[in-house]
Amino acid sequence: MLFKRIQAKGVSIFYRTAGDPKKPALLLLHGFPTASHYFRQLMPLLAKDFYCIAPDMVGFGQSESPDRRDYTYSFENETAVIAAFLEALAIDQYYLYVFDYGAPVGFRLAMAAPEKILGIISQNGNVYEEGLGSKWQARKAYWQQPTDEGRATFAKAYDPKTIKAQYLGGEQPGTVGPDGYCLDIFYRETIADFAEKQNDLILDYRSNVAAYPDFQRYLRDWQPKLLAIWGQNDPSFIWPGALAFQRDVPTAKVVALDAGHFALESQAQTIAKEILLTFTEERKRNAL
């Protein structure tokens, strides 16, 4: 694996790669509160068949985290930076792995340039109302009437105990190591103004829910090869959100995992196997 930086729309983006650049590109987009290290187990498993590229989004991990006075933390801006990142790397077509926050970014990229998408893996990357767990009801109320008091209630989302619980929730005891959540907690403590930047994204998440019909229209119109592989015990993006993909893409493959939100932490081997079965086997058949 290699670790690099590149400028995208004036922002320094850290990213990691694995595999041969001559292989089909696979863009891996992380969620909250993690970064590209979420894919540390998966990328070596796919490097023989894909050129894996995993950036840290703006305000996450090792990427630059501009001052809020100079940069608006929104999903549109996150998308614009990743689009510029792909352009800087001269990635013309790619497979897309989306997780959590990575889903609205990835689906915005797909809508903007559908001809570039070779296939999509959605791992607890929701684009359906029925995929929103119960916690989203409070967030919807906040979106309708944002207040300083309401904003302050999300501070507990960044508490180290909460981050750890997000990783361990829905998992079998002993299957998730401390590496991922400890690194996320480190970034939470060291990125300047982390909580306020994340609060900006929580408020802006309403734009993603508003865009769900557009994401779904993209799926219906373009019918991408799609694997929805889901930690079935996720309380945030719940199992019906995985099944909903088949409504718009009838050929979508939907796989349930006995895992929580951060399913890659315990299920990297299984997820890699399903990706290879779904995407590389088809390429091999087409090559015959």
Catalytic member of 30, 40, 197, 261: 261
Token code pair at residue 215:
């994401």
Question: Given phi > 0 = left and psi -120 to 50 = alpha, else beta, which region is 173?
Answer: beta
For β-strands 117-122 and 253-257, DSSP reports them as unpaired
d(CA 227, CA 274): 8
What is the dihedral angle through the alpha carbons of 25, 29, 35, 41, rounded to the nearest 10 degrees? -50
Buried b (16+ CB within 10 A) or exposed e, 10-33: ebebbbbbbbeeeebbbbbbbbbb
Which residues partner with 183 through β-bridges? none
Q: Is 261 a catalytic residue?
A: yes
Q: Taking the CA of residue 147 as centre, how many other CA atoms within 13 Å lie in the half-sphere pointing to its CB?
A: 6
Which residues partner with 257 through β-bridges? 231
d(CA 26, CA 275): 11
Backbone angles phi, psi at 237, to 5 degrees: -110, 100
d(CA 39, CA 268): 9
Return all residues near 34 (Cβ < 8 A) that are at least 6 apart: 60, 61, 180, 183, 184, 262
Within 10 Å of residue 161's Cβ, how many Cβ atoms? Answer: 9
| Amino acid letter for position 82 | I
Catalytic positions are 261
